């Protein structure tokens, strides 16, 4: 059966803040509706707009949250658990940097931080069930990332050992999401051990092809890696259960390429851009999603080093709306068809 994807949605992580209208659930969902969005993706760690613990424990609270959103013209698309998922696996080189994602009580204590992150993911599974959501967008974390480039030479078994451990940590989380009838959709992203199709397949094998191990497709990260983001959809469409719409550009120079020389975002060869300002072929992406009957939401994740976020949001809602393909339920040449006649079919084949 042909399926038209839903949208436009917007990830609220880049917009939630301490000033109105971004400092409360009622205000930010009203803002999203007024901008033209039909759905919102919730950053589950941001207590200014959402209480994850309460959502996991109270269906009544979840009904109230969904009701406020509905009154403002938007639905909840997914919970985002990027920060908690990141902390499920952290290489010691990044301990201090990633401590900023954790509550004060576990900072400086990697074991306690990991336990907190796992508990948060389990709460997110319960909250997703209470909200009636079928996908959750997250990061997997990373143990092997410092060894991305094969110099110095990696000792045999290093990457395999890292992925064994990553799978061991995530398996019970995936099982909890299975019980909640919800997919974990990893955003394949540099800085994570799952950053492209090859690494996703490695992890998928380690978790025995777990049915809840899925993908949050975001073409911008693939442009910056110079990966064929359209072929990716054809290969992995059955595992794509969430969709971030984000633009990017890659303009190498005589001085820098993919690694971009430690430059700040505005000076990098690869940069995230507002929708329509980069190089992503969204017409082709939406066509492929329609071809493969993607049933979920198309969600704007606004990240741009140049444009103001309010402008990016307003333009992004219209951009996504205009790209959504309402799929057809009939063939364009049906008018020329005839009722099948078994005898005629045999005559046409000379049988």
Domain boundaries, the chain: 6-348
Tokens standing for 343? Answer: 């005898």
Look at the block and give the residue holding tokens 């613990």: 53
Kindly report the pTM of this predicted structure.
Answer: 0.95
Residues 6+ apart with CB under 8 A from 286: 5, 298, 323, 324, 325
Question: Tens of pLDDT along 154-199?
Answer: 999 999 999 999 999 999 999 999 999 999 999 999 999 999 999 9
Give me the chain's average pLDDT, please.
96
Confidence of residue 68 (pLDDT cuts 50, 70, 90): very high
Q: Name which of 244, 236, 331 is nearest 292 in CA terms.
A: 236
Tokens standing for 336? Answer: 């020329």
Residue 333 pLDDT exceeds 70: no
pLDDT at 146: 97
Confidence of residue 329 (pLDDT cuts 50, 70, 90): confident
pLDDT at 171: 98
Confidence of residue 336 (pLDDT cuts 50, 70, 90): low
Class of 6-348 in CATH:
alpha beta
Nearest-angstrom CA–CA distance, 162 and 148:
12
Percent of the chain at pLDDT exceeding 90:
94
Q: HEC string of the chain?
A: CCCCCEEEEEEHHHCCCCCCCCCCHHHHHHHHHHHCCCEEEEECCCCCCCCHHHHHHCHHHHHHHHHHHHHCCCEEEEEEEHHHHHCCCECHHHHHHHHHHCCHHHCCCHHHHHHHHHHHHHHHHHHHHHHCCCEEEECCCECCHHHCCCCCCCCCCHHHHHHHHHHHHHHHHHHHHHHCCCEEEEECCCCCCCCCHHHHHHHHHHCCCCCCEEEEECHHHHHHHCCCHHHHHHHHHHHEEEEEECEEEECCCCCCCCCHHHCCHHHCCEEEECCCCCCCCHHHHHHHHHHCCCCCEEEECCCCCCCCHHHHHHHHHHHHHHHCCCCCCCCCCHHHCCCCCHHHHHHHCCC
pLDDT at 3: 84
pLDDT at 334: 67
Question: Tens of pLDDT along 280-298?
Answer: 999 999 999 999 999 999 9
Confidence of residue 279 (pLDDT cuts 50, 70, 90): very high
What is the mean pLDDT of the segment spanning 215-222?
Answer: 98
Q: Name which of 241, 233, 328 is nearest 286 in CA terms.
A: 233
Residue 21 pLDDT exceeds 80: yes
pLDDT at 2: 72
Nearest-angstrom CA–CA distance, 321 and 332:
24
Residue 332 pLDDT exceeds 80: no
Residues 6+ apart with CB under 8 A from 137: 41, 78, 79, 80, 81, 82, 185, 187, 216, 242, 244
């Amino acid at each position: 059966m042909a399926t038209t994807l839903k949208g436009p949605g917007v990830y609220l992580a880049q917009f939630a803040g301490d000033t109105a209208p971004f400092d409360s659930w009622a205000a930010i969902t009203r803002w999203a509706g007024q901008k033209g969005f039909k759905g919102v993706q919730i950053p589950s760690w941001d207590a200014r707009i959402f209480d994850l613990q309460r959502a996991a424990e109270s269906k009544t609270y979840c009904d109230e949250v969904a009701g406020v959103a509905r009154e403002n013209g938007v639905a909840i698309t997914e919970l985002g658990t990027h920060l908690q998922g990141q902390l499920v696996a952290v290489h010691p080189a990044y301990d201090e940097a990633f401590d900023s994602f954790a509550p004060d009580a576990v900072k400086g204590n990697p074991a306690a931080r990991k336990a907190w992150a796992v508990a948060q993911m389990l709460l997110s599974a319960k909250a997703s069930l209470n909200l009636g959501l079928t996908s959750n967008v997250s990061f997997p974390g990373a143990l092997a990332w410092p060894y991305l480039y094969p110099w110095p030479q990696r000792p045999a078994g290093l990457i395999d050992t890292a992925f064994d451990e990553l799978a061991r940590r995530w398996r019970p989380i995936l099982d909890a999401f299975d019980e909640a009838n919800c997919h974990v959709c990893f955003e394949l992203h540099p800085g994570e051990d799952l950053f492209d199709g090859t690494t996703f397949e490695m992890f998928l094998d380690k978790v025995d092809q777990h049915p809840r191990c899925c993908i949050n497709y975001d073409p911008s990260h693939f442009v910056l890696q110079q990966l064929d983001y359209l072929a990716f959809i054809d290969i992995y469409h059955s595992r794509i259960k969430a969709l971030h719409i984000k633009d990017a550009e890659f303009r190498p120079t005589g001085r820098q390429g993919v690694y971009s020389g430690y430059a700040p975002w505005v000076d990098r060869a690869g940069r995230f851009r507002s929708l329509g300002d980069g190089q992503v072929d969204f017409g082709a992406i939406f066509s492929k999603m329609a071809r493969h009957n993607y049933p979920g939401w198309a969600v704007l994740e606004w990240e741009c080093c140049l444009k103001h976020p309010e402008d990016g949001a307003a333009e992004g809602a219209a951009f996504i709306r205009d790209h959504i393909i309402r799929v057809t339920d009939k063939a364009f040449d049906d008018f020329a068809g005839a009722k099948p006649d078994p005898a005629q079919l045999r005559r046409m084949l000379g049988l």
